[in-house]
């Protein structure tokens, strides 16, 4: 089946919906399709809890937000992109306010802001601890007023159609029927989220498997800075459910088994509100040096909110209390929450400039699947949801402008036949002796052990070898369910293929980067090396594995300095 739209947006989270709104407002003449493997209000963006950063206060300014972001990135962020980002962030907060987002308020009625790690002032706008949930619902409700936007839920991305360096279409599987559906399009926006399910202990929803990143990579678009994966300090033990940074922003403490607030040793000025890479390394060091709290699920650190009191916890952190009770049997009003660092965010992604453009004409990227780069080697908490809003708008407007000036697209019949054969004959129809879920389990174990907070050459080399072995075995997987409709075995196996490609890039890039910067910490190269490594990595796809090139970081007015908190 073929459909035609001027613009196709893949992904229905914050970035995807914001792009669709921006494109729809650009011109009523444009036909716009949103494709997603879930429903918009079930996207992973609803899991964002703590808040969204923007300059709104009298004691804040754009340069200060930019400086905090650049310093937090360990100076790997492109500073021109950061300056654009911070200046446009407040507009998005006020726009969502006008569209009905129920931001938490100060007593004087103005939008409230809380402290977050690495920020110099209280800059994080929030809606209790359900910020992403309310932002998603606000955008979804807004989206429904545009007659030129159609939403295709439960469509699974399999490929991009590129001809002579330009986007021509998007290939998907309609999950209900199991049929291949081709969307012919003039412009495409990828807003497919991160790749956190590479890891086993993670805050990510199960659908976040890096689909857009992997598909773009296979189509020749480089992936940038994929060695930088963020570990959030506070994942609930044993599930990995996010215990938002707002817990510490509202005054929570981290304590070891002796009851000590140990962050005084690692970041005496910021304490628990140091950037995430600093706090996660400190917690992991406490654990591996024997100062964690023992449990049947391994050692953990105590997140102590008891001193905040029941009223404040119920007002500011109601979902955290509920999750702790339901999933750990702990009421934070009365006792600390068991937490340890958890895989949380993909700093790298599809290489783009600040206009969200890729090297394929008509292909734009936004949100976590993209790497502009504003996060560099470490993202500050609450800079992600606002990135989705700011650059979702840019991507939508750029796609609209491109589509308005483009002629129609046509997808060759040969592509459709080849794509159907690749998926349904060579993958679904294959007889093999490998179980795809066993490969995924081994991949998760490898990432959790070898590409965790502390890394070294031996572990990274072993990881690269193991991932390549898994890729070879993947070519012999067999899918037991041969049916078409809602074949989750098929889509899960496609996802595992995406994850194996991305894992190879992450591990190889980390092996090559012989320094410590932000979330990438090498115990054999513990210092940051600006002489040799103040540069972005670009991974290009080849059948034999990624080939790397490097490009300089854009520096405008903030020179790299020693990073202290």
**d(C-alpha 385, C-alpha 49), whole Å:** 10
Cis, peptide link before residue 238, omega less than 30° from 0? yes
Question: Within 10 A of 334 (CB to CB), how many other CB atoms are there?
Answer: 9
Long-range pairs for 99-106: beta carbons < 8 A, 24 or more residues apart: 99/138, 99/139, 99/141, 99/142, 100/138, 100/141, 101/127, 101/134, 101/135, 101/138, 102/127, 102/134, 103/127, 104/128, 104/316
Q: What are phi and psi of 71, to 5 degrees?
A: -65, -45
Query: 536 an active-site residue?
Result: no
Count of beta carbons in the 10 Å neighbourhood of residue 122 = 17
Is 220 in a helix, a strand, or coil?
coil
Q: How far is CA 393 from CA 94, 95, 101, 412, in A?
A: 14, 12, 17, 31
Partner residues linked to 202 by β-bridges: 343
CB atoms closer than 10 angstroms to residue 180? 20
* Tokens read off for 496: 């595992």
- Ranges assigned E (strand) in 45-127: 52-53, 113-114, 124-125
Q: How far is CA 295 from CA 236, 257, 458, in A?
A: 13, 11, 29
- The residue behind tokens 């994929």 is 226
DSSP string, 309-363: -HHHHHHH-HHHHHHHHHHHS--TTTSPEEEEEEEEEE--EEE--TT-B-SSBTE
Catalytic residue, chosen from 134, 142, 248, 351, is 248
How many Å apart are CA 459 and CA 87, to the nearest integer?
A: 41
Residue 157 CB-density burial (10 A; 0-12 exposed, 13-18 middle, 19+ buried): buried
Which one is catalytic: 119, 123, 232, 522?
232
* Cα-based distances in Å from 88 to 76, 95, 281, 343, 386: 21, 11, 32, 28, 9
Q: How many helices (H) and strands (E) does the chain have?
A: 16, 21
Q: Does 218 qualify as catalytic in the annotation?
A: no
Q: Apex CA 116: angle with CA 112 and CA 117, to 5°?
A: 170
Catalytic residues: 232, 248
């Amino acid at each position: 089946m073929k459909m035609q739209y001027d613009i196709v947006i893949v992904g229905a989270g914050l970035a995807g919906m914001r792009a669709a709104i921006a494109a729809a407002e650009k011109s009523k003449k444009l036909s716009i399709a949103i494709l997603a493997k879930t429903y918009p209000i079930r996207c992973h963006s609803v899991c964002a809890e703590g808040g969204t950063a923007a300059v709104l206060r009298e004691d804040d300014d754009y340069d200060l937000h930019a400086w905090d972001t650049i310093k937090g990135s360990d100076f790997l962020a492109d500073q021109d992109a950061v300056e654009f980002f911070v200046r446009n962030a407040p507009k998005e907060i006020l726009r969502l306010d006008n569209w009905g987002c129920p931001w938490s308020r100060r007593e004087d009625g103005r939008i409230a802001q809380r402290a977050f790690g690495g920020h110099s002032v209280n800059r994080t706008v929030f809606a209790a601890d359900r910020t992403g949930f309310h932002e998603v619902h606000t955008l979804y409700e807004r989206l429904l007023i545009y007659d030129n936007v159609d939403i295709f839920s439960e469509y699974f991305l399999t490929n991009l159609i590129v001809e002579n360096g330009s986007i021509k279409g998007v290939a998907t599987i309609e999950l209900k029927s199991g049929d291949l559906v081709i969307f012919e399009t003039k412009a495409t926006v990828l807003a497919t989220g991160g790749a956190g399910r590479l890891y086993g202990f993670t805050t990510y929803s199960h659908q976040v498997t890096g689909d857009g990143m992997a598909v773009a990579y296979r189509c020749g678009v480089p992936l940038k800075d994929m060695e930088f994966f963020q570990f959030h300090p506070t994942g609930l033990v044993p599930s990995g459910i996010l215990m938002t940074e707002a817990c510490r922003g509202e005054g929570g403490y981290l304590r070891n088994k002796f009851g000590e607030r140990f962050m005084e040793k690692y970041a005496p000025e910021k304490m628990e509100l140091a950037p995430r890479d600093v706090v996660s390394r400190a917690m992991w060091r406490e654990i591996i040096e024997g100062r964690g709290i023992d449990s049947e699920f391994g050692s953990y650190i105590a997140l102590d909110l008891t001193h905040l009191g029941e009223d404040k916890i119920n007002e500011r952190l109601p979902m955290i209390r509920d999750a702790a009770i339901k999933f750990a049997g702990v009421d934070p009003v009365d006792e600390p929450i068991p937490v340890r660092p958890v895989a949380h965010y993909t700093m790298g992604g599809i290489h783009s400039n600040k206009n969200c453009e890729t090297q394929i004409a008509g292909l734009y990227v936004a949100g976590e699947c993209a790497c502009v780069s504003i996060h560099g080697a470490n993202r500050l908490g609450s800079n992600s949801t606002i990135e989705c809003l700011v650059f979702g708008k840019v991507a939508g407007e750029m796609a609209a402008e491109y589509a308005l000036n483009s002629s129609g697209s046509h997808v060759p019949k040969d592509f459709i036949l080849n794509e159907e054969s690749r998926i349904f004959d060579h993958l679904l129809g294959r007889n093999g002796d490998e179980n795809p879920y066993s490969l995924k389990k081994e991949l998760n174990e490898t990432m959790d052990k070898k590409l965790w907070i502390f890394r070294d050459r031996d572990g990274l080399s072993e990881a690269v070898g193991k991932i390549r072995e898994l890729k070879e075995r993947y070519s012999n997987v067999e899918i037991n369910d041969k049916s078409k409709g809602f074949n989750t075995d098929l889509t899960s196996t496609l996802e595992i293929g995406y994850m194996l490609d991305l894992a190879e890039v992450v591990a190889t890039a980390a092996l090559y980067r012989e320094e410590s910067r932000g979330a990438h910490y090498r115990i054999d190269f513990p210092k940051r090396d600006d002489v040799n490594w103040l540069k972005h990595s670009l991974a290009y796809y080849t059948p034999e594995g990624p080939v790397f090139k490097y490009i300089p970081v854009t520096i405008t007015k903030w020179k790299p300095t020693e990073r202290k908190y």
